[in-house]
A and B are shown apart, each in its own frame.
Chain A
Amino acid sequence: MATLYRVRRWLADGAHFGIVAAFTIFAAFPFYWMLITTFKRTTDLMNRTHNPFLFHEPPTLEHLRVLFYDTLYGRWLANTAVVGVLVVVVTLVLAVPAGYALARLTGRWGEQLGIGIFLTYLVPPTLLFIPLSRVVVGLGLQDSLWSLVLVYPSFTVPFSTWLLMGFFKAIPSDLEDAAMIDGYSRLGAFVKIVMPISIAGILTVVIFSFTLVMQEFVYALTFISPVSQYTVSVGVPTFLVHGDVYFWGSLMAGCFIASVPIAVVYNFFVDRFIAGFTVGAVK
């Protein structure tokens, strides 16, 4: 009997390990592959007799050189960063006060409005990019990064407002009451007490918005045509892939550099996003 349990236990542990390992490989393999490809010579990559997991020729930095010196990759990174920072600023300016208003100041109709705002997060770019492309032209912003700064908050603001509302609701309202008695207005209490306490939530919104900007593809593809104004997510797939000529090494390098570092940072905040995603289904 005891042996039977031990065997079953052992099998269960083995199955657990197998499942976790399989999923981890499935998730991470493309990134591992990007990393390997980055440092392989093209002649090594383009030889079907070579075992693709091994280096048959010495590693090279040539692909990275091409990426940074022969393409506008650096420029795209900078463009993405500029748009990212501006969108984060716009998002904070709009979502922080709105989240607070929904959490504390607007009562019942605010609740309905809050759900309404959250639902706009579900309206996808594919529904809006056609009319928005016309709006962007009308404002004279076509081919300019400003068009992205204008449009991107449409998906960062609703979700951020929703997340921040949750954060602000979790703060005991006694603290603001105390601050108001201690000599501040409602607005003063918000600035002096609520904002410093919610710094974790605000930081979450910053990271969240920034990653969304890095990911966005459809708007950037639609609004912007000059190569010098591309963001990373559009620049790499459209410029480095022309016709049948694929610069695989540089492509993979470009993908890896733009995805992994931000992902590591994001990882620290993921639990907070989930709290927002699960609406009210998780208590």
Chain B
Amino acid sequence: MEAVKGEARVLLGAPATRFSYIRDREEWLGPLMLGPAILYIVLVVGFPFFLALYYSVSDITLGSRSLGFVGLKNFTGVIGTTKFQTALKNTFVFAILSQLLVLVLGNVLALALQKDFRGKWLVRLLILLPWVAPISLGTIGWLWIVDSIYSVINWTLRAVGIFGPTFWPIWLGVPHLAMGTVIAVHVWRLLPLATVILLAGLSSIPKDIHDAAQVDGASFWRHYFQVTLPLLLPVAVVALLFGLVFAFTDMTVIYVLTRGGPYDTTQVLASLAFFTGVAGGDLAEGAAISLFLFPLLLAAAIGFLRIARRSEVV
């Protein structure tokens, strides 16, 4: 700015100060502006990630200072236990069932919300609540709803006569029921996200295409399965990938509702890693367990890259 004021200096090409130079030089300014964020991510995500890799082949525990190398002992030791095998199986059951439900229900809901109707803004706000509210707190709401003695669900179903006078299921106390409840709460929590993503996808389909299908005389189902759904597919994949990542890695719902019980029937890898590594103090084994999540995340990351590359928007 100084340079502009002094006309003579400019026209003589007086050298600007070094600092004002950097402000203009894009080849310096870019790395300078990006640097702090990259540095932070490397330190707080990259470094711990490699530390996790290292822990998984060490014998570190919460109290100890030792960091001996034990090779793949943690992995081989963990794989053999029934606790781990159950958790691995549960992780897949939990993630796949919940995502299947989320996708189907999300599609139905997105289609329903695509239409304009009175009070839509309020409906949207209410439907988004589970996603926005702190997940641990929303889950406590469910804990009360499925309470073993005062469950409002049981009370209502008995009142309308669906449950007989002696039938009073304890939702979190019976293995299959507990898994079902945990999945339901997870669906409750992830449905809003999937729905809004799918809605964004629906509204990005040009209206002309719908008009053309209508003029061509396509029925509702034909229209949906042969026109809308194929066009929605890339967006649905994005919703699915996010959902899978959340489902594979989140332990909050399980921690609050069941702590993995009854008899570890709802224990997943993420919660098992927590109970082993943090609550149990065996950092090495905990790290090894949590690393089993990594291939799944890698697959999701590759999925994203492919979508990002194909769309060429990024």
Q: Do A and B come from one complex?
A: yes
**Distance (whole angstroms) from the CB of A84 to the closest CB of chain B:** 12
Q: Which of B266-304 contact A (CB under 8 A)?
A: 269-270, 273-274, 277-278, 283, 286-287, 290-291, 293-294, 297, 300-301, 304
Q: A135-B51, A279-B308 are in contact. Are A130 and B140 (CB under 8 A)?
A: no
- Which of chain A's residues have a CB closer than 8 A to the CB of B60? 134
Which chain B residues lie closer than 8 Å to A205 at the CB level? none
Determine whether the beta carbon of B133 is less than 8 Å from that of A263: yes
Which 5 A-B residue pairings sit nearest by Cβ, starting from the closest?
A259-B133, A105-B30, A280-B313, A280-B311, A124-B249
Seen from chain B, the residues whose Cβ lies within 8 Å of a Cβ on chain A are 1, 4, 20, 23-26, 29-34, 36-38, 40-41, 44-45, 47-49, 51-52, 55, 60, 105, 108-109, 112-113, 115, 117, 123-130, 132-145, 147, 149-150, 152, 155, 159, 188, 191-193, 196-197, 199-201, 204, 234-235, 237-238, 242, 245, 248-252, 255-256, 269-270, 273-274, 277-278, 283, 286-287, 290-291, 293-294, 297, 300-301, 304-305, 307-308, 310-314
A179 to B130, CA, bound (A): 44
Q: Which A residues have a C-beta under 8 Å from some C-beta of B?
A: 16, 19-20, 23-24, 26-31, 33-34, 37, 45-46, 48, 51-53, 93-95, 97-98, 100-102, 104-106, 110-111, 113-115, 117-120, 122-135, 150-151, 153-154, 157-158, 161, 180, 183-188, 211, 214-215, 217-218, 221-222, 232-234, 236-237, 241, 246, 248, 251-252, 254-255, 258-260, 262-264, 266-267, 270-271, 274-275, 277-283
Contacts of A110 in B (CB 8 A): 30, 34
State the main secondary structure of chain B at its contact with A.
helix
CB neighbours (8 Å) of B235 from chain A are 278, 281-282
B233 to nearest A CB, angstroms? 9
* Interchain CA distance A93-B30 in the complex, whole Å: 15
Report Cα–Cα, A150/B41, bound state, in Å: 11
Q: Smallest distance from the beta carbon of B241 to chain A beta carbons, Å? A: 8
